[in-house]
Amino acid sequence: VDSIARLIPGVLGNEQSPLIESHSKEGYLEYPQYTKPEIFNGWKVPEILLSGNHGEIEKWRKKKSKSI
């Protein structure tokens, strides 16, 4: 059901969403996802994601999506 519903305009809320999902580009996967707290079980959120610099964050995401 989810895979079909996603094809209906407006269902995802943002028309760009399907363009940046993990299977939207061949050879790429979605970048790593982080949440709060900043440190959890020894894993730390990368500083770039905490910086607020959207341009650099986008570069980081693209780089990580290629390396996964």
**What is the DSSP code string of the chain?**
-HHHHTTSTTSSSSTTGGGGSTTSSTT--PPP---SSSEETTEE--HHHHS--HHHHHHHHHHHHHH-
pLDDT of res. 42: 92
pTM above 0.85, yes or no: no
Residue 65's nearest CA partner among 31, 23, 17, 34 is 31
Q: Which domains does the chain have, with CATH numbers?
A: 23-68 (1.10.1270.20)
Q: How many residues does the chain have?
A: 68
pLDDT of res. 22: 66
Alpha-carbon distance 57 to 5, whole Å?
30
pLDDT of res. 23: 66
Query: In tens digits, what is the pLDDT along the chain, a chain of 68 residues?
Result: 777 888 788 888 887 777 767 666 677 777 888 888 999 999 999 999 999 999 999 999 888 887 65
